[in-house]
Structure 1
C-alpha cells in the first residue's frame, strides 16, 4: 500500500500534528464513471421503482454519471426469467434522464437459453448505448455452497456454462457487450476466466465486502474501530492489487460490481452510520490507486434503511440519501484525474489518510485528507514554492454512529436531490506549507492553486 495512511500508536493526546507531502508521480487515476450503485435484478420487477420520477434522477446526477449494476442472488433464481415490459420501460427512462448506464445480469443459476436470448433482445433494444454489458450469473464460485450446483462443480464446468450463456445473449442481441464473472475472492476462478475471456469482455466484475457478512449479534460500537482501521485499509489495498493483477494483460477495466462494508444487508447501526461515510472515501480512493475503474455499492430503493443501502425510500418515488451517500458524493467532489503519490508523517495518537488528485481538466492540486482519530489533527501540506490561498471543503457528522446529520460544507442534500454547498473556507499557504486543522472524525478537500 502506498503511503497515504499513517497512524502512530501511543497515548491519546488532545491533538496531533501531521505533515502531508505530495509527489508528482502518478500512481492511479479516478474517472468520471467511478462511483456507481448495485441492485438486485429481481427488484426491477418486484416493486422498487427504477424510473425517471421523483428525486431519483437528481440524486444520481448529484453523484455524477456512472453505472447501475443489476444482479445479486435473485438473478440466479428460477423466479427470475427476465424483465417485465413495464419495468424495462421505466429503466429505459431512468438511464436516459440520468445519463447513467447499466450492467445487466442474465440468469445462469437456472439457465434457459431461450429465455435469456429473448430477455437480452428486449434489454438491448430498450437500453441501447446505455447498456454497458450483459453478465451471466452472480457469484458462480459460490454455487455449490448455495445449493445451485452439485459438489464437484469446477471452474471448467463454469467456463462451459457461462460460454453457453454468452452465446444465448448474442443470439438475442448480436455484438452486445459482455461482462463478468462477478465472483468473490476465488483467484482459482477469476484468473482462468480473465485469461479465456480477454478481448471478449468489456468490463471485468468482482465482489468484495471488507467486513465479511453481517450477523444478528454484530455490535456497531465494537466494529467501528475495525471499519476505520489502518489494518482493514491495508487488507482492502491488497485485495484490489490481487484483482487488478489478474486482468492487467486483458486491456479491459475492472469494476467492483458489488461491494459495500458488509454483505448480508450490512451491519445495522454501522453500515448506515456516519462512520460508513468516512470509510467509503478511503475505500474508493484506495481502489482507484490500485487500478480499480469503478465501484457499485449495493443497496435498494425501498424502506429497508437500517443496513448498507445508499438510498432509502421515504415516499412515493422519493428517496433520502444515507450517510454513505455523503461520503460517495464528497469523493465525487474531489474530481477526476491522476492520483499522485502521497507521504504522511503523523505524531503519536494520529490516524490520518490523504490522497492527491491532479485534475484532468486542469486547475489546482486537490487533496482529500481524513482525520480518522478521536483527536484533532493539525496538518501541514507541503506545497513547494506555492504561496497564496487554498480553498477547503469539509465533511462533518454528529458522531461516528449517527445515522443522520452528515454535512458537506454545512449543507445537506435537499428533498429534490440536489445540494448547495456553503462557501469554501480559505487558508494561507506559506513556506511552512498549507495549514489545515481537522476536527476528530472529519474529512476535508483542499484545493491548492
Structure 2
C-alpha cells in the first residue's frame, strides 16, 4: 500500500543615421592621389607588352578565371523503390458512438536523448513469497511459460504481505512453528531448496530473473542467510537482489510486530540481516527498504550495510479506498483515466529517484498496482486498467526507474485478487495451474515487447488525454508509443501528426484495443488475446508517407499503439 501523502535575428546596421531626417548618410571616400613616377612606370610596362605581343608571337592562354561566386547544389537524395505493403486495420469506435471530436495531436520527436532507457526486464510481475511453494511455478506448466514469455524476460519478484506473516523457510524440513498463522485463502507455506530449484526451471524456460524478500516479521538473520545461501547457489546470475522484510514501515500498526516497531528498530535489524546474508552470498545486492512511506527511504540509504545497491519503494496511487482521505485517490475509472493520476505518479517517483541518485543507488518500484484496496472495485479487471498499466510503466522507465513489478497472485480468477495481472483457472481456491493474463497483463506485454532503446525528447500538443514516448533503438530505428486514453465509447479517432528525427522507409504498428473503459475480459492486442505481432511481421500504419519526415494518420481512442520507423 502507498503513502497517504504522495509527493506533483537581424544584425544592427553599422551605418550611422542622420539625426534630423532619420535617413542613412553616405560616407564620402577620400580622393586617391597617384604619384607621377608610378604613372610613368605603368606606361613603360604597357609599351613593353605591346612590343612583345607583335604579330607572329604566340603565348599560352591562361585559364579563364572562375566566376566570382558559385553555389554548389547537392544531388537529390535517391530512395530505393517503395516496397508493396499491407496496412494495419484498426478497430473503429463501437457502433452508435456519439463520436465526440478530439483535438488533433502533434508529436515532435527530437534527436536529443532524455538520459534514461527502456531495458528488457524492466517490467515484471510481483508475487507473494508463499507462491514459491506452488507446484505450478515450473517449466512443465505450458500456460505459465507462454504467459511469462509474453512478458519478455521479466523479473519475478517474491514478497508481499505473506513473507512476514505466512512464509517459513527451511532447508531441513522443519515443522512450521505454531506462531505462523494464516487462513483458508492465505495458508502458511513452508518453502525449501527443492522449491527454488523448481522455480529455476521456469526462469530458464522463459529467460527470467528473480528478486527475493526474506522474512523480517519473525526475526531470524541466520534463517534468512540460509535461504540466501541456497538461492545464490541455485539461481546464480538470475538472482538480482534480496530485500529484508516487506513494507517494514507498517509493522508497528498492522500486527506484524505487536509491540511496536520504529525506524531505529528496522535499521538495527537490517544491519544484522545484511551482514549475515553477505557472509554467504557476498555478490548479491541488498535492496530496500521496500516501504510505502518516504520517511523510511533515507534511513535505509544511510545504513552501514554491505552490498547496498538498490533503493526500492512501493506505490499504489489509489490508496483512499472509501474516498474519504482523498476522493481523487479512490479507485474509480474517472480517477484512473485522468491526467492528474499521471502527474501524481511522476511526482512520487521523482522523489524516490532524487533520493536514490543522490546516494548513487539504482531505484526500483518492485511492488505496485492501481489500488491497494482489498476486494473488487470499478477499475478491477477492466480495459482502463490496461491503459493505465502501459502508461504507468513507460512513464516510470522514462523517469529512470529500472525495475517495476505489478503485484499479482496465482490464486484462482474466480474469487482471487481482482487486481492481479495473472490468475489461475479452476474453482474458487482450487487452482488448476492453467494461468492466464487479465486486462492489465496486456498493458504489461505491450511495454515488455518494445525493443530496448534510449528515450528521446518528445513534445506533444493537443490530442486530449494522451501520452507519448519515443525511443532511439540500437538498430537506428525510432519507436514511438502512444497511449490514447480518450474514451473509446465516445471519442472519434484522433488525427496524429508526427515529426520524426529522420526520413523513414518503413513505418509499422501494433495496437492494444478495448471496447470501453469498463469492459472486462475484452482487451486484445492486434485482435487477439496474445502478445504483439513480431516486429518483422507488423503491418504498415495507414497513411504512411515513404521517405517523409512528417507522418500523419489516425488513431482509435482507448488504445496503446507502438510504432516503429526504420530509416
Indicate the TM-score class for this superposition, using the shorter chain for normalisation.
0.7 to 0.9
Helix, strand or coil: the match of 2:148? helix
CA distance in 2, matches of 1:222, 1:424: 37
Residue 117 (structure 2) pairs with residue 29 (structure 1): yes
Cα separation, partners in 2 of 1:166 and 1:199, compared to 1, 3 Å: closer
Name the counterpart of 2:195.
87
RCO higher in structure (CA 8 A, sep ≥6): 1
Name the counterpart of 1:202.
309
Q: 1:292-331 CA distances to partner (integer Å, 9 max, x unpaired)?
A: 0010110011204561111121264321111111111111
Conservation of the 8 A alpha-carbon contact between 2:323 and 2:330:
no
CA distance in 2, matches of 1:335, 1:393: 13
What 5-or-longer segments of structure 1 have no aligned partner? Answer: 3-11
Q: TM-score, normalised by structure 2?
A: 0.70
Name the counterpart of 2:540.
425
Residue 282 (structure 2) pairs with residue 165 (structure 1): no
Q: Residue 341 of structure 1 is aligned with which of 424, 446, 457?
A: 457
Cα separation, partners in 2 of 1:60 and 1:158, compared to 1, 3 Å: same
> How far apart are 1:214 and its partner, in Å?
4.6
Name the counterpart of 1:110.
218
Residue 449 (structure 2) pairs with residue 352 (structure 1): no
Q: 1:233-270 CA distances to partner (integer Å, 9 max, x unpaired)?
A: 00000111000100103333211110111124564452
Q: How does 1:31-46 map to 2 (within 5 A)?
A: 31-45=119-133
Conservation of the 8 A alpha-carbon contact between 1:388 and 1:428:
no
Cα separation, partners in 2 of 1:394 and 1:144, compared to 1, 3 Å: same
Q: Residue 231 of structure 2 is aligned with which of 123, 143, 146?
A: 123
> How far apart are 1:199 and its partner, in Å?
6.9
Cα separation, partners in 2 of 1:199 and 1:355, compared to 1, 3 Å: farther
Cα separation, partners in 2 of 1:226 and 1:116, compared to 1, 3 Å: same
Helix, strand or coil: the match of 2:440? helix
Name the counterpart of 1:136.
244
Cα separation, partners in 2 of 1:145 and 1:306, compared to 1, 3 Å: closer
Q: Residue 401 of structure 1 is aligned with which of 515, 518, 522?
A: 518
Name the counterpart of 2:553.
436
CA distance in 1, matches of 2:322, 2:160: 19
Name the counterpart of 2:421.
310
What 5-or-longer segments of structure 2 have no aligned partner? Answer: 1-6, 9-98, 171-190, 427-431
Conservation of the 8 A alpha-carbon contact between 1:214 and 1:266:
no
Q: 1:67-96 CA distances to partner (integer Å, 9 max, x unpaired)?
A: 111111111126533523442222121122
Larger Rg: 2
> How far apart are 1:201 and its partner, in Å?
2.0
Name the counterpart of 2:336.
227
Q: 1:98-119 CA distances to partner (integer Å, 9 max, x unpaired)?
A: 2211111111111123322322
Helix, strand or coil: the match of 1:202? strand
Q: Residue 190 of structure 1 is aligned with which of 272, 277, 297?
A: 297
CA distance in 2, matches of 1:66, 1:378: 34
CA distance in 2, matches of 1:229, 1:212: 16
> How far apart are 1:382 and its partner, in Å?
1.4
Helix, strand or coil: the match of 2:503? coil
CA distance in 1, matches of 2:256, 2:330: 36
> How far apart are 1:172 and its partner, in Å?
4.1
Q: Which has the higher strand share?
A: 1
Helix, strand or coil: the match of 1:123? helix
> How far apart are 1:171 and its partner, in Å?
4.1
Q: How does 1:240-319 map to 2 (within 5 A)?
A: 240-265=349-374, 267-304=376-413, 305=416, 307-314=418-425, 316-319=432-435
Conservation of the 8 A alpha-carbon contact between 2:411 and 2:417:
no
Helix, strand or coil: the match of 1:103? strand
Name the counterpart of 1:63.
151
> How far apart are 1:30 and its partner, in Å?
1.0
Cα separation, partners in 2 of 1:113 and 1:384, compared to 1, 3 Å: closer
Conservation of the 8 A alpha-carbon contact between 1:380 and 1:432:
no
> How far apart are 1:58 and its partner, in Å?
2.3
Conservation of the 8 A alpha-carbon contact between 2:121 and 2:448:
no
Aligned-residue CA RMSD (Å) = 2.9
Select between 78-87 and 390-399 the one with higher mean Cα deviation: 78-87
Residue 482 (structure 2) pairs with residue 369 (structure 1): yes
CA distance in 2, matches of 1:59, 1:294: 19
> How far apart are 1:163 and its partner, in Å?
0.8
CA distance in 2, matches of 1:197, 1:271: 42
Helix, strand or coil: the match of 1:425? coil
Select between 197-206 and 391-400 the one with higher mean Cα deviation: 197-206
Conservation of the 8 A alpha-carbon contact between 2:110 and 2:501:
no
CA distance in 2, matches of 1:333, 1:68: 16
Select between 51-60 and 134-143 the one with higher mean Cα deviation: 51-60
Name the counterpart of 1:383.
500
Q: TM-score, normalised by structure 1?
A: 0.87
Select between 368-377 and 113-122 the one with higher mean Cα deviation: 113-122
Cα separation, partners in 2 of 1:67 and 1:387, compared to 1, 3 Å: closer
Cα separation, partners in 2 of 1:102 and 1:297, compared to 1, 3 Å: same
CA distance in 2, matches of 1:335, 1:419: 12
Helix, strand or coil: the match of 2:355? helix
Name the counterpart of 1:17.
104
